[in-house]
Structure 1
Amino acid sequence: MPAPRPTPPAGRKPRRRLAPSEKYEIYVAVLTGQATQREAAERFGVDRSTVVHVCRVAKQGALDALAASVPGRPGVSGEQAELAAAREEIERLRATVTEQAVTLHLHQGKSRWD
């Protein structure tokens, strides 16, 4: 049996979990001017700071997705792009080290172990 939830301090609304679709609805309503932040908070039964946070996160998510979007290519997140670039750099460095080792071996010749 789950533990009972503590009651919120006097004057505060109880915490409410919003579904992703509700968060999106809040963001669109505020973005399009259909509702102010206060009106959206009242309509969804949350604190105004929650509406501000939802809008900030939605805006940043949209900016990140647009930054990762390259015309003609499937979307790649910034993290995936950095990982691919790092792997290319590792392969380039590996090839360089191998080439230098071969050059050194040919230049110095094979030496004895004793």
Structure 2
Amino acid sequence: MNLLAQIGPITPPDGAVTGDPETVIASIIKNGISLLLIAAFVIALIWTIIAGLSFIFAGGDEKGIASAWARIYWGLIGMVVVVGSFAIIKLVETFFGVSVLTGGFHLTSP
């Protein structure tokens, strides 16, 4: 029964969310936004690569080539939207003096 007591004190791992509820919620939102941006960009990149491969393997099939080009365009549009979203978030951070993606929602002094 005292096995854990013999090992030593149990401390939370590095990067664990601790503190008051506002900090915890801000950290969860920050990590969620970062995760969504990264996942969306990776998905759009993989979509574009797969569309490029389908373009290569389409051969002379006009319908396959047109479908591949449409998928390539949508993949590129997705990447542009993700990069634009990141730029808008950074613009809001700079303009309003808050930090959304780095360190939670803390106001910075001018």
Bigger CA radius of gyration: 1
TM (norm. structure 1) is 0.31
Q: Which has the higher helix share?
A: 2
TM (norm. structure 2) is 0.32
